[in-house]
Amino acid sequence: MDEKTEQLRDIFVDVAEEETVTERQKEERGSLTDADEGAVDDRLVEVIGEMRQRYDFETDCETATLVRIVRGFYEGANDEALASELDLDPETVRIARMDLHLVGESDTDAPFELATLRDLLVEDADEETIAAELDADEGAIDRYRRVAAAQNRARRTSQRYRTAFEEVLTDADLSIQHTASVQEDGLEEATEDMEVDVSF
């Protein structure tokens, strides 16, 4: 064992035997990503609050629940999974998504042309007229009415709120990636010129 290695080993032993070091290691600390997640939720709350002022939501879900539904939608979670997590029924989650303009591909798989339903809704046609025009039962009309209405609202604002959700979550993802990159780069810089000899 050379002199440098012996010195490093002695320092390690001295430090490892310090009780204060062990206690400090046990303390839970926050991270940059924890702070980022809180900021993301705050920004999502702002967007949802703006939507509440503009529209009458069909559900009475709390804002925190709606934030989780937004996050879950973009994470690819289905209504059943979110309903189980949030202690809701899947239909409530689906309606909440429509309130938030979060229409997925499966939502548009209707047995009739959604474009026709959207037009009828814009014209304020009554239920009987819509049923006759689309040759569909009331249950299907009610389900896809919400989808079409959500699409209409989103189009009138040029997808403003959905775009806002995506920007918030994209910025968060980039921030987390950047933090990880900085940590890796810093570690590389710190160890770049070190000569390691681990043979004791």
**23-55: per-residue pLDDT in tens?**
444 444 444 455 488 899 999 999 999 999 999
Cα Dmax for the chain = 92
In this predicted structure, what is the pLDDT of residue 31? 42
Find out whether 101 and 150 touch, Cβ atoms under 8 Å.
yes
Q: Which helix (H) or strand (E) holds 18?
A: none
| Domain positions in the chain | 33-168
Q: Which residues of 52-87 are buried (b: 16+ CB within 10 A; e: fewer)?
A: eeeeeeebebeeebbbbbbbbbeeebebeebbeebe
In this predicted structure, what is the pLDDT of residue 124? 84
Q: Which helix (H) or strand (E) holds 111?
A: none
Tokens of 16: 């490892």
The pLDDT tens digits for 91-134 are 999 999 999 999 999 999 999 999 999 888 888 888 888 988 99
Q: How confident is the model at residue 85 (pLDDT cuts 50, 70, 90)?
A: very high
Give the residue with greater pLDDT, 131 vs 22: 131
Q: Which of 68-72, 98-102, 139-143, 147-151 bottoms out in mean pLDDT, i.e. has the lowest?
A: 139-143
pTM above 0.85, yes or no: no
Q: How confident is the model at residue 187 (pLDDT cuts 50, 70, 90)?
A: very low
